[in-house]
Structure 1
């Protein structure tokens, strides 16, 4: 693999840091790592220094160092896996769970609120619907136990 000349890995949802061994590919002439979730400092290597086009790394918001204009600050250092989350991803997850819980709670309140205030629906639910399900369950249990033929 040391004689590879072209490497195109754009839009592959890659995350983490760019491996330093990429700089050891001495015949590498074309590199495209754009639109992934790569993070950290761009490694310095013999061959990587010749690939100075910043468009190689476009779409990777957490990459820093030359040939990009973004300098590497300590406040943007990645976690141990080298994966930097975009701001707002945690909030998206929290809001998703919050809206799911609120939806279930609203549905529960609507169904049991109607049963609480509508007497004829409550009677139908408890005396007809639930009673039919208990009858079906009893028949199923009897069939499973072999008592009903």
Structure 2
């Protein structure tokens, strides 16, 4: 929870406070490079996340992938991009920490880490499964109201 909730956000906060405010000319020069790096980060971390069998590693790699969207928003040099990046920082901090908490709690209860061994987890822990599914949909930026109505 420390990595997803605080440490990744500190780097982005430094990009905003130091790059954009103290070095605005350098930020405008290097913003196309930051966009390319953010795009590569999104694709690479998401594809690496799909190959992970460990639940916490999959959440961590998807968290790093989401940070690419924030970098692209910051380097867009628009108010809308910066506001979207700040909203994503706040929401991702809560959602990522909640997913790590639920993964840790699930491990404490069933002592399984690998996803292929966790099949049928909704039967022994239905509330935990519902919360995990809800936060997973929030991580995908899908509205929970529509997902709950589909059930």
> Which TM-score bucket, shorter chain as reference?
under 0.3
Higher-strand-fraction structure: 1
Higher-helix-fraction structure: 2
Task: Give the TM-score normalised by structure 1.
Answer: 0.28
From the CA coordinates, give the structure whose radius of gyration is larger. 1
Of structures 1 and 2, the one with the larger relative CO (CA 8 A, separation 6+) is 2
Task: Give the TM-score normalised by structure 2.
Answer: 0.28
